[in-house]
């Protein structure tokens, strides 16, 4: 086998392993050694933390949603941590405090400057009184039973963090975004299997929970708090599991630039964690090292493998390789056409 052929087949198998081989291995692993969660009806004190920056348009809707949660008000604390908001966000939270004194405890934290979400989360946790910390974003709204569903998992002493599920809606009252269905089903399948064999690799940012005693302040520049905070629990010997009954809802954006920005943020955040968090590279500290590298790291490598696959194929233009080259050309051509024809319609504004 020539060097060019070696590069071609190495690239091909890395890509296939990442999206087909690893899920199949997980499926077999789960069938042989599935770990159950001993859920129970418990009622620990809970602090729901929402970091905000200039959310005057949606903050009252978010507060109403949190005040309507089906969880005892005496055990529920809501902390809105404003990261130097310059609009009416803080004023609206203050008015809500005055007008709704009979509900859950509501605490507003402010900062003199906008420094980032991580700092806002650290400030909130430092003042949180709950045994369980629930993290949520201002944009999404939670199912009334979401917090109770998350909390039930902490009856199992082995559980350190729990992730809920984000349901993307294409319209008010819809069942979900049809165009995103296959992707989300695939991701949900992977997360559920990783949870069943041991732990998820992070959590859904719109809704996840962690034992307060397992939280360590995260670096101020952290992009993916929803990966680092749950992984802190894993580093300390606990499991991070998936709870499909803890639901958060959002409208899916169809603006290409918005999706591109989200993808860039996610990729940047994963590269950042690998660069800064040495425990991720440690077999001893990172119990789910194999899963992390098969899922997270392999996906970071795939774009380079795709480039190597196409480049090496240019020097192998005979037989099977010739056919495979033109299949790649057609594939990328369809992707370009799809991007050009993608309608820039945002359901949030319609």
- Within 10 angstroms of residue 43's Cβ, the number of other Cβ atoms is 11
Q: Is 254 within 8 Å of 344 (Cβ atoms)? A: yes
> For residue 13, what pLDDT is reported?
97
Residues 6+ apart with CB under 8 A from 149: 143, 164, 243, 245, 246, 247
- The candidate with the shortest Cα–Cα distance to 207, out of 66, 44, 82, is 66
The CATH number covering residue 102 comes to 3.90.550.10
In a domain, 263, yes or no: yes
Phi, psi of 155 (to 5 degrees): -65, -25
Kindly state whether residues 103 and 173 are assigned to the same domain.
Answer: yes
Label residue 264 by pLDDT band (50, 70, 90): confident
What value does the mean pLDDT of the chain take?
A: 89
Tell me which of 88-97, 254-263, 274-283 is least confident: 254-263
Kindly state whether residues 101 and 234 are assigned to the same domain.
Answer: yes
Label residue 255 by pLDDT band (50, 70, 90): low
Kindly state whether residues 127 and 243 are assigned to the same domain.
Answer: yes
Report how many domains make up the chain. 2
In a domain, 24, yes or no: yes
HSE on the CB side for 122, CA within 13 Å?
A: 14
DSSP-derived letter for residue 65 is: H
108-162: per-residue pLDDT in tens? 999 999 999 999 999 999 999 999 999 999 999 999 999 999 999 999 999 999 9
Average confidence (pLDDT) over 215-221: 93
State what percent of residues in the chain have pLDDT above 70. 91
Average confidence (pLDDT) over 233-253: 91
Q: What is the pTM of this model?
A: 0.87
Average confidence (pLDDT) over 23-43: 94
Whether 167 has a pLDDT exceeding 50, the answer reads: yes
Look up the domain containing 235 and give its range: 35-279
- Within 10 angstroms of residue 293's Cβ, the number of other Cβ atoms is 18
Kindly state whether residues 231 and 337 are assigned to the same domain.
Answer: no
68-84: per-residue pLDDT in tens? 999 999 999 999 999 99
- Token digits of residue 73: 């008000």
Phi, psi of 70 (to 5 degrees): -85, 75
> For residue 341, what pLDDT is reported?
66
DSSP-derived letter for residue 154 is: G
Alpha carbon distance 104, 22 (integer Å)? 44
* CB-neighbour burial class of residue 201 (10 A; exposed 0-12, middle 13-18, buried 19+): buried
> For residue 258, what pLDDT is reported?
62
Kindly state whether residues 8 and 80 are assigned to the same domain.
Answer: no
In a domain, 125, yes or no: yes
Whether 59 has a pLDDT exceeding 60, the answer reads: yes
* CB-neighbour burial class of residue 97 (10 A; exposed 0-12, middle 13-18, buried 19+): middle
Kindly state whether residues 339 and 239 are assigned to the same domain.
Answer: no
């Amino acid at each position: 086998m020539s060097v060019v052929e070696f590069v071609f087949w190495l690239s091909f198998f890395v890509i296939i392993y990442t999206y087909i081989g690893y899920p199949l291995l997980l499926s077999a692993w789960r069938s042989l050694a599935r770990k159950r969660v001993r859920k129970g009806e418990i009622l620990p004190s809970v602090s729901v933390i929402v970091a905000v920056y200039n959310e005057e348009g949606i903050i009252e809707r978010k507060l109403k949603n949190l005040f309507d949660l089906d969880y005892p008000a005496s055990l529920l604390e809501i902390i809105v941590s404003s990261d130097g908001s310059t609009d009416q966000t803080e004023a609206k939270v203050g008015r809500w405090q005055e007008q709704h004194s009979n509900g859950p405890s509501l605490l507003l934290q402010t900062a003199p400057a906008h420094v980032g979400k991580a700092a806002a989360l650290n400030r909130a946790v430092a003042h949180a009184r709950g045994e369980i910390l629930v993290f949520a974003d201002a944009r999404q709204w939670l199912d009334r039973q979401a917090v109770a569903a998350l909390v039930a998992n902490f009856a199992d002493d082995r559980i350190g963090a729990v992730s809920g599920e984000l349901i993307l809606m294409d319209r008010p009252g819809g069942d979900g975004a049809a165009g995103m269905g296959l992707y989300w089903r695939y991701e949900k399948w992977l997360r559920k299997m990783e949870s069943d064999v041991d732990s998820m690799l992070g959590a859904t940012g719109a809704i996840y929970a962690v034992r307060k005693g397992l939280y360590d302040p995260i670096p101020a520049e952290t992009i993916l708090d929803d990966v680092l905070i749950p992984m802190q629990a894993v580093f300390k010997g606990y499991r991070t599991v998936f709870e499909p009954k803890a639901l958060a809802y959002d409208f899916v954006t169809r603006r290409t630039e918005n999706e591109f920005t989200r993808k860039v943020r996610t990729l940047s955040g994963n590269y950042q964690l690998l660069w800064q968090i040495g425990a991720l590279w440690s077999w001893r500290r990172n119990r789910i090292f194999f899963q992390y590298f098969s899922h997270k790291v392999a996906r970071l490598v795939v774009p380079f493998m795709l480039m190597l696959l196409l480049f090496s194929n240019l020097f192998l233009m005979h037989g099977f390789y010739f056919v495979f080259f033109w299949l790649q050309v057609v594939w990328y051509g369809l992707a370009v056409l799809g991007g050009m024809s993608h309608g820039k319609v945002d359901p949030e504004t319609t």
